[in-house]
Structure 1
Amino acid sequence: MDIIGLIWWLFFFYLLMAPQFHFWNLRAARNRLLKEIANKRGSTVITLIHRQESIGLFGIPIYKFISIEDSEEILRAIRSAPKDKPIDLIIHTPGGLVLAASQIARALKNHPAETRVIVPHYAMSGGTLIALAADKIIMDKNAVLGPVDPQLGQYPAPSIVKAVEEKGKENVEDKTLILADVAKKAIKQVENFVYWLLKDKYGEEKAKELAKILTEGRWTHDYPITVDEAIKLGLKVDTDVPEEIYLLMELYKQPVRERGTVEYQTVSNHK
C-alpha cells in the first residue's frame, strides 16, 4: 500500500472511531463525577438523562425518550441499591412511554429509604410522573415539570373526549367513539396512578385534587409548570440543586457543530 492509500485509510478510521473515543471519554468522566456525588450525598445516584448525543458514524445524533430499556435498567439499579440508603434520581427528559415511566415511579415509591428526584432543567410528561413518586422533588429555580395527561397517538386524550362531547356522539364515526372510550380509560388510569403516588405524602383529598389537575387536560401537554406554579398547586418542591449536578449535565453534550448556538463569558474578578 502506498503512502497516499495509507493516509486515506487512517483518515477513514479517524472519521469512524473519533465519535466513539469522544463518547468513551465522556462516559468515564460521568462515572467519576457520579461516584463523587454518591459519596458526598451518601446515596445511590441514578441518571435518566435524555439529550442528543453524537455517537454514531460521522456524529449523527440520536434522540432519546423514556423507553422500556430505561425502565429495565433503572429497576435493576433501584433493586440493587442498599435498602437503608437514599436514592437520588437525576431526571432530564421530554417524557416517553407511560408504561416505562409508571414502572420506574412505582419502584421509586416502594424504595424503603428516602428518594429524591433532581430536575436541573426539565422533566416533562413521564418525567413528571416519576418525580411525583419521590419523597422530595429538587428543582433548579428555572426548571419545569409538565402535565401528565395521556396522549393517544398525536392527540391528547382529554381533547379527544372533549371533541366528542362537543360534537355529540351521534355526529361522529364509530372509530372516533372507540378512540374516545380508550381516551377516557387512559385518563382514569393515569389519574388513579398519580393519586396512589401522592396519597401518602399529601393526604387523600389533596392527592385527588392534584391527580385531577395534572391529568384533566387543563393545559397543553408541553405546558411548563414552573417551581412557583408547582408550589402554588401544592407540590412540595425544594430548589437546593447540588452544584455537581450542573457539572454532570455539561458532560451530556448536544451534537458537535462548527459553532455552538449559545456562547458566554463572565466578567473577570481580576484587575
Structure 2
Amino acid sequence: MYGFDIFWLLFFFMLVLPSLRQWNIERLRQNLIKKIEQNRKSRVITLIHRQESIGFLGMFARNFISIEDSEEVLRAIKLTPKDMPIDLIVHTPGGILLAAEQIASALSKHDAKVTVFVPHYAMSGGTLIALAADEIVMDENAVLGPVDPQIGQFAAVSILKVLEQKPISEIDDNTIILADMSKKAISQTRQFVYDLLISNDVPEDKANELATTLTDGRWTHDYPIMFEEAKQLGLNVTCGIPNEVSALMHLYPQASQRRPSVQYVPLPYQRPTSNGKEK
C-alpha cells in the first residue's frame, strides 16, 4: 500500500511540476518586462518564438508568426497611448505573411517612436515587422533576412525562373498557375515594403531600391543579413542590445534535452592583469 501511495505522489509531482515551472517563468518575464517599461517609459511587447517546454509532462512546441500573434500584438498596440513609445522584442524565424503584414502596418501607424530589438534573429516576416520600426536595434551578431515570398516550399522567384528557362509547351498547368501566383506575391510584397519605408520618411528612390533588394530573390530565403550589411543597405539599424533585453531572452529557454549540445559556465569572465589582479 505504501509503495502504491508513493507511485501516485510521484505521478502527481510529474504532472504538476511543468505547470509550476511555467508559472514561475511567466512571473519572472512579467516582472522584467515591467522593469524595462519603467526604465524606457514605453510599452514593451515580445514576439519570441522558441522550442519551449510547456504543459503536461513538459511537452514542447515550435512556433512561428501566426494570426493569433497578430491579434495579440494589435490588441497591445490599441491599449497603448498614441504618444507612448513601443519597444518590440523580436526573435522569430518568420511565419504567415498576412500576420506579419498586419503587425507591421499597425506599428507603422503608431504616432510615437517604435523600436524593434533583435537580440538574435528576425527572419522573413520578422524582418518585415522590423522594417516598420523607426529604429532597429540589433546585437552585433544578430541577423535579419530577405522578405521574398515563398509559394509552398519554393521561392516565388525560383518558380518564375521555370517560365524563363523552358518552353511554355513543356510546362505543366500547375507550375503555370504557381508562376502566376508568384508574380502577384512578389509585386504585392514589394509594394508593401515600399509603403512601409515611405511611411518612415525614407526617400522614394531609396525605398524603391530597398524594396527591390529585399524581395527580388537574389539571396536564398535564409540568407543572414548581418548588422554591417543592413547598415550598408540603408536600414535604420543601431548596434547594442540593452542588458535587460538580453536577460529577458534567458527567460525563454529552449526545451531541455537529455544531453545539452552547448555548455559553459554562465558567468562573465575577466582577464587577470600582469600583477595577478583582475581587470
Q: Deviations over 1:6-50 (max 9, x none)?
A: 111111111112111111110000000000000000100000000
Q: Deviations over 1:158-192 (max 9, x none)?
A: 11011221113222011111110000000100000
Percent identical among aligned pairs is 56
TM-aligned CA deviation for residue 58 of structure 1:
2.4
Structure 2 residue matching 1:202: 3-state secondary structure: coil
Q: Does 1:76 align with 2:75?
A: yes
After superposing the two structures, state which structure 1 stretch, 96-105 or 260-269, moved more. 260-269
Please tell me whether the aligned partners of residues 29 and 248 of structure 2 are also in contact (alpha carbons under 8 angstroms): yes
Report what 2:248 is aligned to. 248
CA RMSD in angstroms comes to 1.3
Please tell me whether the aligned partners of residues 104 and 130 of structure 1 are also in contact (alpha carbons under 8 angstroms): yes
* Counterparts of 1:267 and 1:145, CA distance in 2: 29
Structure 1 residue matching 2:177: 3-state secondary structure: helix
TM-aligned CA deviation for residue 220 of structure 1:
0.3
- After TM superposition, what 4+ stretches of structure 1 lie above 4 angstroms from structure 2? 268-271
Structure 2 residue matching 1:88: 3-state secondary structure: strand
Report what 1:263 is aligned to. 263
Report what 1:91 is aligned to. 90
Q: Does 1:187 align with 2:186?
A: yes
Q: Deviations over 1:35-75 (max 9, x none)?
A: 00000001000000000111133222200000000000000
* Counterparts of 1:172 and 1:257, CA distance in 2: 47
Question: With structure 1 as the length reference, what TM-score do the two structures score?
Answer: 0.96
The one-letter amino acid of 1:142's match is: N
Report what 1:49 is aligned to. 48
Report what 2:202 is aligned to. 202
Alignment of 1:117-266 (within 5 A): 117-200=116-199, 201-265=201-265, 266=268
Report what 1:107 is aligned to. 106
TM-aligned CA deviation for residue 131 of structure 1:
0.1
Please tell me whether the aligned partners of residues 134 and 236 of structure 2 are also in contact (alpha carbons under 8 angstroms): no
TM-aligned CA deviation for residue 118 of structure 1:
0.4
After superposing the two structures, state which structure 1 stretch, 138-147 or 197-206, moved more. 197-206
Q: Does 1:19 align with 2:6?
A: no
* Counterparts of 2:14 and 2:150, CA distance in 1: 40
Please tell me whether the aligned partners of residues 199 and 206 of structure 1 are also in contact (alpha carbons under 8 angstroms): no
Structure 1 residue matching 2:133: 3-state secondary structure: coil
Number of positions where the alignment pairs a residue of Structure 1 with one of Structure 2: 270
* Counterparts of 1:181 and 1:85, CA distance in 2: 43
After superposing the two structures, state which structure 1 stretch, 202-211 or 256-265, moved more. 256-265
TM-aligned CA deviation for residue 119 of structure 1:
0.3
Structure 2, unaligned runs of 5 or more: none
* Counterparts of 1:17 and 1:53, CA distance in 2: 17
TM-aligned CA deviation for residue 136 of structure 1:
0.6
* Counterparts of 1:162 and 1:93, CA distance in 2: 29
Q: Deviations over 1:92-126 (max 9, x none)?
A: 00000000000000000000111000000000000
Question: With structure 2 as the length reference, what TM-score do the two structures score?
Answer: 0.94
The one-letter amino acid of 1:232's match is: Q
Please tell me whether the aligned partners of residues 123 and 222 of structure 2 are also in contact (alpha carbons under 8 angstroms): yes
Structure 2 residue matching 1:94: 3-state secondary structure: coil
After superposing the two structures, state which structure 1 stretch, 133-142 or 3-12, moved more. 3-12
After superposing the two structures, state which structure 1 stretch, 12-21 or 39-48, moved more. 12-21
